[in-house]
Amino acid sequence: MNLRSALLGAVLLAATAAPAFAQDDALISKNQTIYDAEGKRVGKVTRVLEDGSALVIYKGKVVRIGASTLTEAEGKVTTSLSKKELARLD
């Protein structure tokens, strides 16, 4: 019974550690401001997903900005998407 408990504990520990580690490596963090390709403010990050993409409220709706479009320079996070492209996101 002790081996079973130890194994179960190890599995649970590994399962809970993975998402926290993934967010530590994220380019962005909650409440950080994202700017568009022209340098204009898009909005603040409301949530960072496990894949590094960001949820932002943009023009009254929640949009997902993919991690592959994000870059960081001098503490400023920018998406390669234009305002027109952002308006088409879900």
In a domain, 15, yes or no: no
Instruction: Count how many Cα atoms sit within 13 Å of the Cα of residue 75 in the half-sphere of its side chain.
Output: 0
Q: What range does the domain containing 66 cover?
A: 32-87
Mean confidence (pLDDT) of the chain: 79
Amino acid 3: pLDDT: 60
In a domain, 41, yes or no: yes
In a domain, 24, yes or no: no
Domain tally for the chain?
A: 1
- The ranges of the chain with pLDDT < 70 are 1-26
DSSP of 36-76, one letter per residue?
-TTS-EEEEEEEE-TTS-EEEEETTEEEEE-GGGEEEETTE
In a domain, 67, yes or no: yes
69: domain CATH number is 2.30.30.240
In a domain, 19, yes or no: no
In a domain, 8, yes or no: no
Residue count of the chain: 90
Amino acid 4: pLDDT: 58
How far apart CA 82 and CA 54 sit, in angstroms, is 16
What tokens were used for 78?
């920018």
Amino acid 74: pLDDT: 82
